[in-house]
Amino acid sequence: MLQNAFDPAVDGQGKDVSRRDDLISRLERSSETGRALIGEARKRNVRIGLSDEVGAACGLYRSSEKLILMNKSYDDDMLLPNLAHECRHSMQDIDAFAPEHSVRSAITITRAKEADAFAHECAAVFEMRSEEVGVYLDFMENNPEVFRPFVQAYNKNGSLDEAKAAAFEAFYTDETFVKTYDSRTVSFYEKGMKPGKKEVSGRELCDKIAPYMTPDFFNRDSARRLAPEIEKRLAPLTGKTSAPSVVKNRCAER
Protein backbone atom coordinates (compact mmCIF):
# COMPACT_ATOMS: atom_id res chain seq x y z
CA MET A 1 0.00 0.00 0.00
CA LEU A 2 2.65 2.47 1.01
CA GLN A 3 4.51 2.05 -2.23
CA ASN A 4 1.81 4.28 -3.70
CA ALA A 5 2.05 6.92 -1.03
CA PHE A 6 4.93 9.27 -0.74
CA ASP A 7 6.30 11.95 1.41
CA PRO A 8 6.17 15.37 -0.23
CA ALA A 9 9.92 15.52 0.27
CA VAL A 10 10.60 12.21 -1.47
CA ASP A 11 10.71 11.93 -5.21
CA GLY A 12 11.12 8.90 -7.41
CA GLN A 13 7.50 7.85 -7.98
CA GLY A 14 7.44 9.39 -11.44
CA LYS A 15 4.02 10.08 -12.88
CA ASP A 16 2.13 9.86 -9.59
CA VAL A 17 4.28 12.49 -7.95
CA SER A 18 3.77 15.02 -10.70
CA ARG A 19 0.04 14.23 -10.85
CA ARG A 20 -0.23 14.70 -7.08
CA ASP A 21 1.75 17.94 -7.25
CA ASP A 22 -0.43 19.23 -10.10
CA LEU A 23 -3.55 18.58 -8.04
CA ILE A 24 -2.09 20.38 -5.03
CA SER A 25 -1.12 23.42 -7.08
CA ARG A 26 -4.49 23.51 -8.87
CA LEU A 27 -6.24 23.56 -5.50
CA GLU A 28 -3.92 26.24 -4.14
CA ARG A 29 -4.23 28.38 -7.25
CA SER A 30 -7.98 28.27 -7.72
CA SER A 31 -9.31 28.62 -4.18
CA GLU A 32 -8.40 30.53 -1.06
CA THR A 33 -9.96 27.86 1.14
CA GLY A 34 -8.03 25.21 -0.79
CA ARG A 35 -4.79 27.14 -0.31
CA ALA A 36 -5.42 27.44 3.44
CA LEU A 37 -6.26 23.73 3.73
CA ILE A 38 -3.12 22.64 1.88
CA GLY A 39 -1.05 25.09 3.96
CA GLU A 40 -2.38 23.66 7.21
CA ALA A 41 -1.92 20.06 6.06
CA ARG A 42 1.65 20.89 5.13
CA LYS A 43 2.24 22.49 8.52
CA ARG A 44 1.00 19.31 10.15
CA ASN A 45 3.33 17.16 8.00
CA VAL A 46 0.45 15.35 6.39
CA ARG A 47 1.56 13.25 3.42
CA ILE A 48 -0.52 13.13 0.26
CA GLY A 49 -0.38 10.38 -2.31
CA LEU A 50 -2.26 8.59 -5.07
CA SER A 51 -3.22 4.98 -4.55
CA ASP A 52 -5.10 2.15 -6.22
CA GLU A 53 -6.10 0.69 -2.85
CA VAL A 54 -8.75 3.16 -1.74
CA GLY A 55 -11.67 0.91 -2.73
CA ALA A 56 -14.59 2.75 -4.32
CA ALA A 57 -13.92 5.95 -2.39
CA CYS A 58 -12.53 9.04 -4.05
CA GLY A 59 -10.04 9.42 -1.25
CA LEU A 60 -9.41 8.84 2.42
CA TYR A 61 -7.49 10.23 5.36
CA ARG A 62 -5.69 7.83 7.66
CA SER A 63 -5.05 9.67 10.91
CA SER A 64 -2.73 7.00 12.38
CA GLU A 65 -0.32 7.64 9.50
CA LYS A 66 -1.19 11.29 8.83
CA LEU A 67 -1.75 10.22 5.26
CA ILE A 68 -4.18 11.33 2.55
CA LEU A 69 -4.68 8.84 -0.25
CA MET A 70 -6.46 9.79 -3.45
CA ASN A 71 -7.92 7.15 -5.74
CA LYS A 72 -5.72 7.13 -8.83
CA SER A 73 -8.45 5.61 -11.01
CA TYR A 74 -10.60 8.76 -10.71
CA ASP A 75 -9.93 11.68 -12.99
CA ASP A 76 -8.32 14.83 -11.68
CA ASP A 77 -11.50 16.92 -11.83
CA MET A 78 -13.10 14.47 -9.38
CA LEU A 79 -10.05 14.37 -7.12
CA LEU A 80 -9.64 18.13 -6.83
CA PRO A 81 -12.66 18.78 -4.53
CA ASN A 82 -11.92 15.59 -2.63
CA LEU A 83 -8.39 16.77 -1.87
CA ALA A 84 -9.90 19.74 -0.03
CA HIS A 85 -12.24 17.34 1.81
CA GLU A 86 -9.44 15.01 2.95
CA CYS A 87 -7.18 17.91 3.95
CA ARG A 88 -9.95 19.13 6.22
CA HIS A 89 -10.18 15.68 7.84
CA SER A 90 -6.50 15.95 8.71
CA MET A 91 -7.31 19.02 10.84
CA GLN A 92 -10.15 17.56 12.88
CA ASP A 93 -8.51 16.87 16.21
CA ILE A 94 -11.01 14.48 17.74
CA ASP A 95 -11.06 10.71 17.45
CA ALA A 96 -14.59 9.35 17.09
CA PHE A 97 -13.35 5.92 18.18
CA ALA A 98 -11.39 7.00 21.25
CA PRO A 99 -11.96 4.38 23.97
CA GLU A 100 -13.84 6.81 26.23
CA HIS A 101 -16.51 7.61 23.63
CA SER A 102 -19.91 5.94 23.64
CA VAL A 103 -21.24 4.46 20.41
CA ARG A 104 -23.63 7.38 20.19
CA SER A 105 -20.72 9.81 20.50
CA ALA A 106 -18.82 7.96 17.77
CA ILE A 107 -21.84 8.34 15.50
CA THR A 108 -22.25 12.03 16.34
CA ILE A 109 -18.55 12.81 15.86
CA THR A 110 -18.29 10.89 12.58
CA ARG A 111 -21.33 12.70 11.20
CA ALA A 112 -19.95 16.09 12.24
CA LYS A 113 -16.54 15.34 10.72
CA GLU A 114 -18.08 14.37 7.40
CA ALA A 115 -20.45 17.34 7.36
CA ASP A 116 -17.53 19.67 8.10
CA ALA A 117 -15.26 18.12 5.46
CA PHE A 118 -18.14 18.39 2.98
CA ALA A 119 -18.77 22.04 3.92
CA HIS A 120 -15.10 22.87 3.27
CA GLU A 121 -15.21 20.97 0.01
CA CYS A 122 -18.19 23.15 -0.98
CA ALA A 123 -16.29 26.31 -0.03
CA ALA A 124 -13.26 25.29 -2.09
CA VAL A 125 -15.34 24.36 -5.14
CA PHE A 126 -17.42 27.53 -4.88
CA GLU A 127 -14.28 29.66 -4.89
CA MET A 128 -12.95 27.88 -7.98
CA ARG A 129 -16.13 28.62 -9.97
CA SER A 130 -14.39 30.94 -12.44
CA GLU A 131 -11.04 29.19 -12.70
CA GLU A 132 -12.28 25.59 -12.63
CA VAL A 133 -15.70 25.86 -14.27
CA GLY A 134 -15.90 22.15 -15.16
CA VAL A 135 -15.17 21.08 -11.58
CA TYR A 136 -17.78 23.51 -10.27
CA LEU A 137 -20.51 22.31 -12.64
CA ASP A 138 -19.79 18.61 -12.04
CA PHE A 139 -19.81 19.14 -8.30
CA MET A 140 -23.14 20.93 -8.45
CA GLU A 141 -24.60 18.15 -10.57
CA ASN A 142 -23.37 15.41 -8.22
CA ASN A 143 -24.06 17.13 -4.87
CA PRO A 144 -27.04 19.48 -5.30
CA GLU A 145 -28.59 18.75 -1.87
CA VAL A 146 -25.55 20.10 -0.04
CA PHE A 147 -23.96 22.46 -2.54
CA ARG A 148 -27.10 24.38 -3.48
CA PRO A 149 -27.84 25.47 0.12
CA PHE A 150 -24.20 26.55 0.38
CA VAL A 151 -24.43 28.73 -2.75
CA GLN A 152 -27.81 30.18 -1.73
CA ALA A 153 -26.56 31.08 1.74
CA TYR A 154 -23.42 32.66 0.32
CA ASN A 155 -25.35 34.71 -2.22
CA LYS A 156 -27.57 36.04 0.54
CA ASN A 157 -24.89 37.93 2.46
CA GLY A 158 -21.46 36.84 1.28
CA SER A 159 -20.55 35.07 4.51
CA LEU A 160 -18.42 31.98 3.99
CA ASP A 161 -19.12 30.79 7.53
CA GLU A 162 -22.87 31.02 7.07
CA ALA A 163 -22.58 29.20 3.77
CA LYS A 164 -20.53 26.45 5.45
CA ALA A 165 -23.16 26.21 8.19
CA ALA A 166 -25.88 25.79 5.55
CA ALA A 167 -23.94 22.98 3.84
CA PHE A 168 -23.18 21.37 7.21
CA GLU A 169 -26.84 21.35 8.12
CA ALA A 170 -27.89 20.12 4.68
CA PHE A 171 -25.61 17.10 5.05
CA TYR A 172 -27.92 15.77 7.79
CA THR A 173 -30.96 15.91 5.53
CA ASP A 174 -29.49 13.33 3.16
CA GLU A 175 -30.67 10.24 5.00
CA THR A 176 -28.97 7.69 2.77
CA PHE A 177 -25.66 9.43 3.11
CA VAL A 178 -25.92 9.76 6.88
CA LYS A 179 -27.09 6.17 7.24
CA THR A 180 -24.06 4.93 5.30
CA TYR A 181 -21.69 6.65 7.71
CA ASP A 182 -23.71 5.57 10.75
CA SER A 183 -23.71 1.99 9.57
CA ARG A 184 -19.94 2.01 9.12
CA THR A 185 -19.49 3.50 12.60
CA VAL A 186 -21.74 0.92 14.27
CA SER A 187 -19.99 -1.95 12.47
CA PHE A 188 -16.72 -1.19 14.31
CA TYR A 189 -18.45 -1.93 17.60
CA GLU A 190 -20.26 -4.95 16.17
CA LYS A 191 -16.83 -6.35 15.35
CA GLY A 192 -15.97 -6.22 19.04
CA MET A 193 -14.62 -2.77 19.80
CA LYS A 194 -15.63 -1.82 23.33
CA PRO A 195 -17.45 1.49 23.70
CA GLY A 196 -16.87 3.94 26.54
CA LYS A 197 -19.45 6.06 28.30
CA LYS A 198 -18.52 9.60 27.39
CA GLU A 199 -21.16 11.61 25.55
CA VAL A 200 -19.63 14.31 23.40
CA SER A 201 -21.08 17.80 23.91
CA GLY A 202 -22.23 20.25 21.28
CA ARG A 203 -19.61 22.70 22.58
CA GLU A 204 -16.83 20.18 22.01
CA LEU A 205 -18.06 19.46 18.48
CA CYS A 206 -17.99 23.18 17.69
CA ASP A 207 -14.57 23.71 19.27
CA LYS A 208 -12.87 20.71 17.69
CA ILE A 209 -14.68 20.32 14.38
CA ALA A 210 -17.05 23.05 13.23
CA PRO A 211 -16.51 26.48 14.87
CA TYR A 212 -19.06 28.07 12.50
CA MET A 213 -21.88 25.98 14.05
CA THR A 214 -23.62 26.57 17.39
CA PRO A 215 -23.76 23.86 20.08
CA ASP A 216 -27.56 23.76 20.07
CA PHE A 217 -27.56 22.39 16.51
CA PHE A 218 -26.30 19.05 17.83
CA ASN A 219 -29.23 18.69 20.23
CA ARG A 220 -31.82 19.08 17.53
CA ASP A 221 -33.79 16.07 16.49
CA SER A 222 -32.71 16.62 12.88
CA ALA A 223 -29.07 16.17 13.93
CA ARG A 224 -29.64 13.25 16.33
CA ARG A 225 -32.27 11.20 14.55
CA LEU A 226 -31.21 7.67 13.67
CA ALA A 227 -32.62 5.42 10.98
CA PRO A 228 -34.71 2.61 12.56
CA GLU A 229 -32.29 -0.10 11.40
CA ILE A 230 -29.35 1.74 12.99
CA GLU A 231 -31.30 2.10 16.22
CA LYS A 232 -31.99 -1.61 16.16
CA ARG A 233 -28.31 -2.43 15.71
CA LEU A 234 -27.40 -0.01 18.48
CA ALA A 235 -29.61 -1.62 21.14
CA PRO A 236 -27.46 -4.73 21.85
CA LEU A 237 -24.32 -2.58 21.90
CA THR A 238 -25.64 -0.18 24.48
CA GLY A 239 -27.45 -2.82 26.54
CA LYS A 240 -30.84 -1.23 26.00
CA THR A 241 -33.84 -2.95 24.50
CA SER A 242 -35.14 0.24 22.98
CA ALA A 243 -33.31 3.51 22.57
CA PRO A 244 -35.43 6.31 24.03
CA SER A 245 -32.37 8.17 25.26
CA VAL A 246 -30.82 8.05 21.83
CA VAL A 247 -33.49 9.93 19.99
CA LYS A 248 -34.82 12.91 21.87
CA ASN A 249 -38.32 13.13 20.46
CA ARG A 250 -39.41 9.76 19.26
CA CYS A 251 -42.95 10.93 18.72
CA ALA A 252 -41.67 13.53 16.31
CA GLU A 253 -40.05 10.87 14.19
CA ARG A 254 -41.55 10.29 10.81
Least separation in angstroms between residue 180's CB and Zn ion is: 11
Residues in 56-115 that interact with Zn ion by CB under 5 A: 114
CA 250, CA 218: separation in Å to the nearest integer? 16
Pairing of strands 59-62, 47-51: unpaired
Q: What is the distance, to the nearest Å, from the Cα of residue 177 to the centroid of all Cα atoms in its chain? A: 11
Q: In what order do the strands lie in the sheet with 47-51?
A: 47-51, 67-71, 59-62
CA distance 116 to 177: 14
- Residue 68, classed as helix, strand or coil, is strand
Residue number with CB closer to Zn ion (205 or 246): 205
Q: Minimum Å distance from CB 85 to Zn ion?
A: 6
By beta-carbon proximity to Zn ion, the closer residue of 33 and 246 is: 33
For residues 38 and 47, what is the distance between their CA atoms, to the nearest angstrom? Answer: 11
Q: Which is nearer to Zn ion, 171 or 189 (CB)?
A: 171
* Min dist. Cβ of residue 242 to Zn ion (A): 31
Closest CB to Zn ion among 183 and 238?
Answer: 183
* Contact region with Zn ion (CB under 5 A), list: 40-48, 117-125, 161-169, 199-207: 117-125
Separation of alpha carbons 164 and 118, rounded Å: 9
254: DSSP letter: -
Shortest distance in whole angstroms from residue 117 CB to Zn ion: 4
Strand partners, 198: 101
Q: Does 213 bind Zn ion (CB under 5 A)?
A: no
Residue whose CB is less far from Zn ion, 88 or 246: 88
Name which of residues 128 to 167 contact Zn ion (CB under 5 A): none
Among 117, 135, 200, 234, binds Zn ion (CB under 5 A): 117
Q: Which residue has its beta carbon closest to Zn ion?
A: 117
Contacts with Zn ion, residue ranges (CB under 5 A): 114, 117
